[in-house]
Structure 1
Amino acid sequence: MATNNQLCEHCLKVPLDMKTLRDLPFGSRWSLGKAGDVLKRTCPLCRVISLALYESARVERRDVNIDSDAILGWGSRYPGSRRMFSINTLGVGICVVRMPGLDCPLPLEDCLLPNLGRAVDKRRIKGWVDHCAESHGARCNPEPHIKLGSPVVESYAGLELLRFIDVQQKCIVETRTVCRYVAISYVWGVGPNFRLKTSNLADLMKPDALSKKENWDRIPRTIRNAIALVRGIGETYLWCDALCLIQNDAADLSQGVNAMDSVYENAAFTIVAAYGHDANSGLPGVEEGTRFNGRSPEIIPGVYLDVHMTLNVAMRHSVYRSRAWTFQEESLSRRKVYFVESKIYFECPSTTRLEFYPPELDRGTDPVDIRETQTVPRWNINLENFREVLVTYTQRFLSYDQDALRAMAGILRRWSDKMKCQFLEGLPTAVFDEFLLFRAGNHDGFPRRRGFPSYSWAGWRGPISRVKYYPYLEGNRWLEENTWIVWYRTDPGGTTKLVWDLDPAANPGFPFDDPRYVGYRTRRPFQSPAVLPFATDRTEPTLIIPSTTRSYTILQFWTLSLFFNISIFDRSNGLSLISDGPGKICGFFYLDNPDNTAFLDSSTGPFEVIVLSSMPEFPYEWIETLRPILQARGEKDDFESQRYCYNIMILEWLGDGIAERRGLGFILPTAIVNGLTPGPAWKEIVLG
């Protein structure tokens, strides 16, 4: 048994009796010295604090900063603060453990359960799911048109039937009517994965086919565990991509992938297998001997503490959260049961449940856990939310480049519904100009993704970032006042048409009379800051693009073409300077591929730049980047005084008469007439 005498001189200052902790003001703090010193101590409280420091460092994939001050605080730092200790971290805390037979005056919601045991509590998982379905209403339940027994074709886009694993009969079944089922989202990994194929479909549809040794032993452990879990909960059907889509049938696979949003959204719940790194990692606790939870340490007599980690902290750097396909699956699922580390969490749009919380809380509403719920995208018409989705998704890893849009198909369809417009190569057509403005190139090696156009985020590996700033100008006004290009699209078959037609009849689903929806409603011609010796009103394409040129959509449009000298300032990030005829810096941009500057190095210039749109002010953070460069060159800073600037794209023309983007940036308005020979021109651009 622990005694107060075992505490070090630092921890003796911390009040640990339950009654004092119950009334202790939030925000109380105690200095424990340096983190490195805490790690060396052997007192019971220091050992628990050390575990919290190690856990925080582990999930964030870093080392403990031993030179940092170790400050123990009371009251968690995330919204809806609860009675728990925190140590130099957000989301990892130290909670009181409610031990059987011991009096604990703290509220239930501030306590953890003792040793959870080795087996998964299937009844508790079922209780979480059932309570959500019964009590949370439309926010957590499928749309009214999803009815059990209705035809699949009415609720699952492009599908006439669904396949499931029948966990009771241990076989694959097909149904043309909507039924209740559980889905699983997991990481395939690089190992062999037993798959449904045209050659084994008939055999696997026979009862007990999956339980045959030659089949069962080939099914990854995670899927075997999921079958056992679903069966133990009392459900009948499990949807798993590897065994419910015919993997060598292109049509079946494509139809299934395109309906992925409906499959996950309409599941009774989704098992999120976030433990380990591949499909053989399993679901800890489903099989005997696969989970162990050590005894919570006693700090002083009758007081037990243990480390608590929120769901999002536990998931933050998991392999699961690093994969592109799982982003869509997790985001679209309404209810999720997470297997992460050795713990189980439940999340729905209304709340989060944790198996290490007392079960008495399961049918209540914990405001802290509601605020922890962050994995579900906000499906509304706010474009900022969609930008966040793209930035997050492009940080994920894809094994196969051709899946860049397929792994986002369901999410893009949801945003298409909300934004009331179609998408072209991953970009919303109603606000096309806006989503062309992204920075690419944050990828080691060769970031250009073949098979997709360079003007789309899908054409680049690695995370994109925003380059558009107009905090005082809402979307509709920016489109009206700062864009002029009439975009045309030519598909691989050679058909050319408008990307966005201003005629409401051409876009019947878009509410032109509702300003909440951002989209083109009028067109303003290009307004030059200086008189140009040519007209700038031509918009219709004249060039004929052969139908076999590309496998993706080509853009055709007219805009202002300019020529400048370009010099790479920082090869580590691709920062490059744009100089006008007199040699003065008039703008700058970031190369899309800083590791491959061949097209710049092979020529002394000048280089072609096209003007895309304008911004009502020059971004301040870009001014901060330019200021020391200008000072070092002895040039006057003209950027901060400018009322607006132009968004520009650097082009490289390929041998077949089609250009690709090689960077995105800004120029000053004065650069329009100060470029290099051959001078400005209103030019038709063919962009792939």
Structure 2
Amino acid sequence: MSKSYLFENYWHEMITPSEAVSTLPKVLHCLFIRLSIRLALSLEAISRKREGVSTEPEHTLTAPKKSSSPELLCEDCANLDLAKALLVEEKDGGDKFAPGRWGYFNTWAVDVGHRYRVARTTNCNLCRILFKSRVEEEDLALDGDVDWIRAVSFLRFFKLLKFGSKFWHSWDFPVLMLFSNKNYDLHKNHKKIMNLIQVSGCAALQQCDQQQAVPLSLKVIPPRFDLGTFRKWFDYCNKNHGLLCRSKKTELCGTRLIDCEEQSIVEHGPGMPYVALSYVWGQPTTQREITTCNGKQLPTQLSLVIRDAMAVTQAMGFRYLWVDRYCIDQNNPTVVHQQIGQMGAIYGNAEVTIIAAAGQDENYGLPGVGRNRPGTQTVAHIGEVAVVWAAGDPQAAIKSSHWSTRGWTFQEALLSRRRLVFTEDQVYFECSAMNIFESLDIPLDSLHIKDRSKSYEDLRGGVFGRNRAAQFGRFILQKQGKGENLSQYLSNVEEYSARKLTFAKDSLDAFRGIAQQFWYRKHAVHNIWGLPYLTLPAERGLGFVYSLAWHHTTSCWDLSQSPHRRSQFPSWSWAGWEGEIRYQMPWSKHNLWSSKLFEAISFENEMGSPTTLEMIVPNIDETCDFPVMRLTAAVVPSKLISFNFNVDSDKQWRFGKYKADLALSYGSVSESQFAQDIHDSHIWQCVCIGWSGWGVTVMILKIHDSSGLWERAGLLTINCYTHNVEPMMQTWEYKSFRVR
């Protein structure tokens, strides 16, 4: 009995304690399966240790092999000569060449008429693949008389490798697509093609029975997740990646785990490796809550995702699983607060985190575990080549999943050392040194530098925690400079702000673990209410202006997506709002981008006592002690701000003779109305706070109440250089504002 068979059937053998009495034979069979899994994994580990072999299996052929059984091809498909796409001639009649040398495979095209234009019922695998590979024209008038099969570069559109990398020519291979005309402009429609391939999948053309190893190819994904695939990834990471993925574990306090063998809840202790789960909760019911008097036994009915995660945990060779619903006493606020405070350690200590990125909630389960994956993968062999329909990019699937819309799941993934992500179509693995997925068939040594400690930096980075502007960046975060650290923090804030929370009060708690990680880096980034500042007192004012210069991506008059105020938090912090934010500053590795224009800034505690930013003693437990910000800055004369009602452009706002961008979070029903309201200085004030490469930043304040408190209402960016504004500022009045 193979491990894959055991893994695939383990879910069906799981039973609950209440069923045990009436199903004794099933209990014994279940115990036999569990022992078999553990024995198989132990024997495998012992064998590897004794033989002293690499965790990377021998990889001689990665191209697909011909099927042992004949495949049915229709007459039209059988007559296609697809092999020519792998070796074509230059247009000027020159020598033959490997098409990967040029990136695009423009020199080969085949007229296929209309036969793949409309999908029809067929037993031909190639027909089904080519139906899915057609690029529809948005303008029907552009449809040609016939369709053309063309081969395009996989790497050019999948974005797996940095363009121009030394690996490009040897790794690239063609992807078949159908276009309505022979000369379809790939450059002009680059984003459209890239989106189709990454989201929907692609038809990879590969040569069969090659005599040498293929550096990169795609493969058909089986209906069930193969345990051996995970073991290959995990063992390679564990053996080769060193401190990048095996950093010192933090001591846990009062943490509980699910014992998957006993289906009970136990206290975590030293020497108890465990797996963590990140998922989206469903609607709570009494059946899912812990109802036993001692709180140590799991309920008889568990959601599909938790049952599947328990099966995967045991099949991977682990016994314990951490799930927030059952490992945190949800009815004890003190325990909840304590466990939230060590969320970074909980996920960071886990051997791997299972991420359920398929479906809408916990009732969907893990595709490929408790049930077959819904999609069917196909392969067609024609002559000496094979056409493999490969799943889309799992990174794109993760980013578009419902799981990625939830606030708490953001830090759960970022704080983990290793992630095993279950999407609808396949499984994706990411650690701190590499990322890979099921449909990608490549030797892991090929991804890594010579000592195997990390992937080549020419390869695409992971999904989790990276600066979004650094697609191919560094892996060793401790070697980042202070500018890079601050940039990455702000990038994390941008991503997190786009997510939804069930309870507004969780705005900072669901980000706390990430903020704590930056606190302990070599170039530490501290924060006040989630807004970062640098360690050295002399750099704090300059650094803090960056964190203040955020704006919402939608304004208050965008009624369907307008920002919403979270009154538990200051208005000047992004945490005080529900709504996606952005920073308008150019990312940089070495400099701090801008300069501050305000005169002074300080904070008041709950008692009203002021403290300057330079005098604050950073304390990780006291980041929310100053609800009021005192800001002294130049007030912008409102007469210089205008709105052009008649211009059909994104630049309708102006500051004197300069164009400007406005992002208003609240306070007006329309832009035209705000253009009138802004001139009432008793209600509105605009103050200069800083300058960056994008322009001068002006914070818009709105009076809050009769006590003299103001609230941050939005941001205005003036598209000019600071030297254009500084001379004017000399004549402007400086005022102090208390902003809550």
Give the TM-score taking structure 2 as reference length: 0.67
**Is 2:129 the partner of 1:48?**
yes
Structure 1 residues 653 and 35: CA distance shift in structure 2, 3 A: farther
Matches within 5 A, 1:117-128: 118-128=223-233
Deviations 1:434-484 (A, max 9, x none): 110111252613433332222111222222122335989932x845xx445
Secondary structure of 2:408 counterpart: helix
**Is 2:333 the partner of 1:256?**
no
2:408 counterpart (325, 328, 343): 325
Matches within 5 A, 1:25-64: 25-26=100-101, 27=103, 28-29=105-106, 30-31=108-109, 38-40=116-118, 45=126, 47-52=128-133
Hey, what does 1:457 align to over in structure 2?
A: 574
Do the aligned partners of 2:430 and 2:436 also contact (CA within 8 Å) in 1?
A: yes
1:609 counterpart (685, 696, 719): 685
Secondary structure of 1:371 counterpart: coil
Size of the aligned set, in residue pairs, is 575
2:433 counterpart (346, 350, 362): 350
Secondary structure of 1:318 counterpart: coil
Amino acid at match of 2:393: T
Do the aligned partners of 1:386 and 1:415 also contact (CA within 8 Å) in 2?
A: yes
Offset at residue 386 of structure 1 (A) = 2.2
Secondary structure of 1:254 counterpart: helix
**Is 2:309 the partner of 1:226?**
yes
Secondary structure of 1:429 counterpart: strand
Amino acid at match of 1:284: P
Structure 1 residues 3 and 45: CA distance shift in structure 2, 3 A: closer
Do the aligned partners of 1:35 and 1:70 also contact (CA within 8 Å) in 2?
A: no
**Is 2:216 the partner of 1:110?**
yes
**Is 2:203 the partner of 1:94?**
yes
Hey, what does 2:469 align to over in structure 1?
A: none
**Is 2:581 the partner of 1:433?**
no
Secondary structure of 1:559 counterpart: strand
Matches within 5 A, 1:583-622: 589-593=662-666, 596=669, 605-606=680-681, 608-615=684-691, 619=695
Amino acid at match of 1:85: P
Hey, what does 2:610 align to over in structure 1?
A: 496
Do the aligned partners of 2:526 and 2:533 also contact (CA within 8 Å) in 1?
A: yes
Do the aligned partners of 1:182 and 1:238 also contact (CA within 8 Å) in 2?
A: yes
Distance in 2, Cα, partners of 1:76 & 1:435: 36
2:238 counterpart (116, 133, 150): 133
Distance in 2, Cα, partners of 1:227 & 1:64: 46
Hey, what does 2:47 align to over in structure 1?
A: none
Q: Higher mean Cα deviation, 253-262 or 566-575?
A: 566-575
Amino acid at match of 1:589: L
Distance in 2, Cα, partners of 1:260 & 1:93: 39
Hey, what does 2:155 align to over in structure 1?
A: 76
Offset at residue 171 of structure 1 (A) = 0.6
Do the aligned partners of 1:140 and 1:349 also contact (CA within 8 Å) in 2?
A: yes
Distance in 2, Cα, partners of 1:593 & 1:70: 52
C-alpha RMSD over aligned residues: 4.2
Q: Higher mean Cα deviation, 424-433 or 303-312?
A: 303-312
Offset at residue 590 of structure 1 (A) = 2.9
Amino acid at match of 1:412: A
2:496 counterpart (387, 393, 396): 393
Hey, what does 2:735 align to over in structure 1?
A: 683
Structure 1 residues 468 and 309: CA distance shift in structure 2, 3 A: closer
Matches within 5 A, 1:190-589: 190=283, 192=285, 200=292, 203-205=294-296, 209-210=297-298, 215-217=299-301, 219-289=302-372, 293-300=376-383, 303-356=386-439, 361=443, 365=447, 371-378=459-466, 379=477, 380=480, 381=482, 382=484, 383-418=486-521, 419-430=523-534, 431-440=543-552, 442=554, 444-468=561-585, 474-475=591-592, 478-479=594-595, 482-501=596-615, 506=617, 553-565=627-639, 566-569=641-644, 577=653, 589=662
Offset at residue 278 of structure 1 (A) = 0.8
Distance in 1, Cα, partners of 2:419 & 2:659: 52
**Is 2:251 the partner of 1:173?**
no
Structure 1 residues 463 and 300: CA distance shift in structure 2, 3 A: farther
Distance in 1, Cα, partners of 2:458 & 2:692: 39
Do the aligned partners of 2:643 and 2:654 also contact (CA within 8 Å) in 1?
A: no
Offset at residue 230 of structure 1 (A) = 0.7
Deviations 1:484-516 (A, max 9, x none): 5432222335443223339xxx5699xxxxxxx
Structure 1 residues 192 and 53: CA distance shift in structure 2, 3 A: farther
Offset at residue 188 of structure 1 (A) = 1.7
Structure 1 residues 660 and 265: CA distance shift in structure 2, 3 A: same
Deviations 1:603-657 (A, max 9, x none): 75246434343437664xxxxxxxxxxxxxxxxxxxxxxxxxx432121111132
Amino acid at match of 2:281: W
Hey, what does 1:657 align to over in structure 2?
A: 708
Do the aligned partners of 2:304 and 2:363 also contact (CA within 8 Å) in 1?
A: yes
Do the aligned partners of 2:275 and 2:353 also contact (CA within 8 Å) in 1?
A: yes
Distance in 2, Cα, partners of 1:470 & 1:350: 23
Offset at residue 136 of structure 1 (A) = 1.6
Structure 1 residues 73 and 408: CA distance shift in structure 2, 3 A: same
Offset at residue 253 of structure 1 (A) = 1.3
Structure 1 residues 31 and 486: CA distance shift in structure 2, 3 A: farther
**Is 2:77 the partner of 1:7?**
yes
Distance in 2, Cα, partners of 1:140 & 1:193: 39
Offset at residue 427 of structure 1 (A) = 0.7
Distance in 1, Cα, partners of 2:419 & 2:219: 22
Distance in 2, Cα, partners of 1:492 & 1:281: 46
Distance in 2, Cα, partners of 1:283 & 1:290: 9
Deviations 1:118-142 (A, max 9, x none): 4332344234223311222111112
Structure 1 residues 95 and 608: CA distance shift in structure 2, 3 A: same
Amino acid at match of 1:203: N
Secondary structure of 1:309 counterpart: coil
Secondary structure of 1:408 counterpart: helix
Structure 1 residues 292 and 559: CA distance shift in structure 2, 3 A: closer
Distance in 2, Cα, partners of 1:237 & 1:302: 46
Hey, what does 1:517 align to over in structure 2?
A: none
Secondary structure of 2:335 counterpart: helix
Distance in 2, Cα, partners of 1:686 & 1:49: 64
Q: Higher mean Cα deviation, 411-420 or 290-299?
A: 290-299
Distance in 2, Cα, partners of 1:129 & 1:237: 17
Structure 1 residues 223 and 465: CA distance shift in structure 2, 3 A: same
